[in-house]
Structure 1
Amino acid sequence: MADDLAADAIARDQAGKPPTDETARLREAGLPAALTPPGPGRGADWRTGCAVIREVAAADGSVGELLARHYVHAWSGRFYADHEHAAALEEESVRERWLWTGAVRTPSPHHDAEGPDLTLRPRTTGYVLSGHRCVDTAVAAADQIVVDAVCAATGDVLVVRIPADERGVTVEPDHDRLGQRVAGAGRLALDRVAVTPGQVLGRRPHDEESTAPVTGLAEPALRLALCHVALGVAEGALTEARDLNRAGRAHRLPGEDPDLFLTYGELASATQTATAVVDRATEVMARALAAGAQLDAEASAGVAALVATAEAVMSKAALHVTAQVLELADAPGLDRFWRNARVLTAHRPVAQRLRSVGEHYLNGSHRAAAAVFH
């Protein structure tokens, strides 16, 4: 799949169209069904899922992000629903080969002050859902969309699953993005969309303190999957620049400039360092996900802090590597790696992450670990 995507990655990035062709390729390869939570005879464990995401992202960052968000949203049943509901949902997802996307907000006083952008109103057979939400991937190509919305009657925040072809669902693709242009970002508009009780996955608490430890993994899991996307982008950029140098299609030829060796050594080391930190977070996350309902609050907070550390290291490495390769080789399309890395890291300031990690390290604060992800 990665080789297939790499063959026309530049042309597709320049076109910037919604990922209709890309999702067709993914379905043909069986990846949406493969990248679901592990179960008897189905799914992929967390380590394998992240390895697949990173390899695809090295070829095409947009499709890597699409797969990362699909994979994490496919875990939504385990994060928010009971065991029986989650198992049935995952089996149906594999059987129907669903592609998932969504946008679930973390608890935040800022969001509460703004008022809900999505509202659920009870009716005899469930709810009707109205409002709008920006979605980062596959807004016009997904089968299932996971969002949170406020119940107008109780004030509870409920996480719900919406079939993309449900009446009242419309999408407006974003055609003007700096990077990740083929990920399929856009705006979701919901006009009195019917929501059955079976589509309600669970309640999202208003604050971190009352959040179940396993539910608290939802946001760090997404951040960690996106770390693998950004690392894949950095690895893809470095590999493409190296291949251009070896082919003699760059500013300097291998073997002629010792400084070139030094630059490649520095960039390769930065990538390897970030990989080591992200892989450690991946291993700890895998163990936490396996623990499920047995996970305690202290372990969940520790996972969140470790993911924040990985994100901070990854962000610096991805931006540095993808910018530096532009000085090593001058070829059409090489800039897409920096643009993709920039979009992936733009909304997650490193300084904020490091402050929260420092507070967790100093005080052992559960609140500090959760606040990393606001």
Structure 2
Amino acid sequence: MRPTSGRADRPADDEIWRRITRELADDLAADALSRDRAGKAPFDELARLQEAGLPALLTPPGPGGRGADWRAACAVIREISAADSSVGELLAHHYALSWSARFFGASAGPQTVEDRAARERWLLAGGVDQPVGAGGPGLTLTPVDGGHVLDGRRAFASGVAVADRLVVGARCTETGDLLVALVDPAHPAVFTDAGTDRVGQRLAGAGTVTFDRVPVSPHDLLGSLPRDEHAASPFATLAPLALRLVLVHVGLGIAEGALAEARDVSRAAQAAAPHADPAPDGVDYPVTGGDDPYLLLAYGELATEAHAAAAVVERATDALARGLPAEHALGVDERADIAVLIAAAEAVTSRSAVRITTRILELVAGAEAADTAPTGPGFDRFWRNARALTAPTSSAGRLRAIGDHYLNGTHARLTLLA
């Protein structure tokens, strides 16, 4: 039975969250392959998340001490992603967006939004960042009597097919500032076209959303970012870094999940290996794949690569977790250090995830012959998911930024570019 721990006012308890996450991950892993092949909108997956209470985990601590911190949230994303990375991506985007009012809003405003999101068990989707190379004006908010109207069309990587609320960034047509709005996707002027033909991350609920003069009241504006990047708060520009970091945890989870499942297959093959003729001493010595020095070397290399990626990711996670409590007192130098560590985590993990999932396909080639059956191992899904997740990110671009910072001391721009 899945745990029913969705109360928003429960005290934070790391051990309880670990147990809940472990049980949900086991539940998701049991039918991950069949759900991936079905490719349906993730309503069932969302119900499992809500039943476990995980969408409310990152609610910032308040009276009564509810909520967990970013380290705990990232650990949850990583373990869920090892079982089903599409569900991990749903949760990752939700956690990053759940802090939008805190990143962009006034100091007194965020708690109301966060309380309601936890109480009503919302799943948030959307995007505040401004995509690089997006054609046209993107999303716009036009001032009208009583608020604004939202117009435009944009593709989103996760969650829009099943979200309870959308958090979107749009340019104000009057001031040019970026405004962050909370939108109900059930509004009749919101049209969602779910993406169904994805190579990987098929259950992440991706899609394209069109907004046709959707009314946005003042209390649905979560905050803003000035058009002049020099006037932007370093804390506000942690928002895209937080999103990038949680997606890194999804990628690391994919690599670790693929490696763990491949190990199980290799162990099963080892246990089923035929025995040689009895030796002169009367003892049967099994002839097993586990004695293959090349197989041992391959697993040693892949496990070491996963450990190395995890170490880099954990360092970046610690840096962000230390920077967030500073809020608007965060300095430009501190923000730059966090950005460099997250860029390093992206570069290392994206390469490792693709390499590990590609090599796994070779190591379990014999088991993949059974993949035509509904219960086959389906290791191709790990590779597809890793490719789909990492393709939008340029490792070369991240490495150039790291090199520029290391060699020249250059700081990354304080923008919301993805």
TM-score higher than 0.5: yes
Q: Distance in 2 between matches of 1:361 and 1:276?
A: 20
- Equivalent pair of 1:2/1:56 in contact (CA under 8 Å): yes
Contact 1:353–1:372 (CA<8 Å) still a contact in 2?
no
* 1:96 and 2:120 correspond: yes
Identity of aligned pairs, percent?
Answer: 53
Q: In structure 2, what is the Cα distance between the partners aligned to 1:371 and 1:273? A: 30
Once residues 145 and 177 of structure 1 are traced to their aligned partners in structure 2, the CA distance between those partners, rounded to angstroms, is 21
**Shift, 1:203, TM fit:** 1.7
Per-residue CA deviations over 1:17-51 (Å, capped at 9, x if unaligned) read: 11011101111111112233343432220000000
Specify the alignment match of 2:399 in structure 1: 354
Indicate whether 1:17 and 2:46 are aligned. no
Distance, in Å, in 2 between the alignment partners of 1:39 and 1:69 is 22
Determine if contact 2:55/2:122 at 8 Å carries over to the other structure: yes
Distance 1:121 1:373, change over 3 A: closer
- Letter of the aligned partner of 1:69 in structure 2? H
Contact 1:356-1:369 within 8 A present in 2 as well: no
Confirm or deny that 1:46 pairs with 2:81. no
Task: Report the CA distance shift for 1:83/1:253 in structure 2 as closer, same or farther (over 3 A).
Answer: farther
2:53 paired residue among 30, 35, 40: 30
Structure 2, gaps ≥5 residues long: 1-23, 274-286, 372-377
Determine the C-alpha separation between the residues in 2 that align with 1:36 and 1:181. Answer: 27
Would the aligned equivalents of 1:107 and 1:208 in 2 still touch at CA under 8 Å? no
Could you tell me whether the CA contact under 8 Å between 1:301 and 1:370 is conserved in 2? no
Quote the residue 2:21 is aligned against: none
Return the alpha-carbon distance in structure 1 between the equivalents of residues 131 and 31 of structure 2: 40
Tell me which residue corresponds to 1:289. Answer: 324
User: Does 1:340 find its partner at 2:361?
Assistant: no
Q: What is residue 199 of structure 1 aligned with on the other side?
A: 220
Cα distance change on mapping 1:208 and 1:121 into 2, 3 Å = closer
User: CA RMSD for the aligned pairs?
Assistant: 1.9
Instruction: State the alpha-carbon separation in 1 of the partners of residues 166 and 416 from structure 2.
Output: 25
Is structure 2 residue 183 aligned with structure 1 residue 183? no
Contact persistence 1:101–1:137 (CA under 8 A): yes
C-alpha contact 2:266 2:290 (8 A) present in aligned 1: no
Distance in 2, matches of 1:372 and 1:351, equals: 19
Gaps of 5+ in 1: none
Q: How far does residue 143 in structure 1 lie from its aligned partner after superposition?
A: 1.1
The corresponding residue for 1:122 is 143
Bigger mean CA deviation after superposition, 94-103 or 203-212: 203-212
Once the two structures are overlaid, the 10-residue window that deviates more, 203-212 or 290-299, is 203-212
Q: Could you tell me which of 318, 325, 329 is aligned with 2:360?
A: 325
Secondary structure, in 3 states, of the residue corresponding to 2:290? coil
Structure 1 residue aligned with 2:238: 217
Structure 2 contact 267–290 (Cα < 8 Å) conserved: no
SS of alignment partner, residue 83 of structure 1: coil
Over 3 Å counting, the alpha-carbon distance change for 1:38 and 1:68 in structure 2 is farther
Deviation at 1:233, TM superposition (A): 0.4
Asked if 1:243 is matched to 2:261, the reply is no
**Rg: which structure is higher?**
2
User: What corresponds to 1:69 in structure 2?
Assistant: 93
Structure 1 residues 241 and 234: CA distance shift in structure 2, 3 A: same
Count of residue correspondences: 370
* TM-score, scaled to structure 1: 0.94
Residue matched to 2:192: 171
- Distance, in Å, in 2 between the alignment partners of 1:14 and 1:159 is 36
**Cα distance 1:168–1:3, how it changes in 2: closer, same or farther (>3 A)?**
same
Counterpart CA distance in 2 for 1:140 and 1:255 is: 44
- TM-score, length of structure 2 as denominator length: 0.85
The correspondence for 2:167, drawn from 122, 146, 166, is 146
- Which residue does 1:162 correspond to in 2? 183
Residue 5 of structure 1: how far off its partner (Å): 0.4
AA aligned opposite 1:229? V
Give, in whole Å, the separation in 1 of the partners of 2:220 and 2:112.
Answer: 12
Residue 136 (str. 1) matches residue 171 (str. 2): no
Who is 1:364 aligned against? 409
Answer with 72-81 or 242-251: which moved more. 242-251
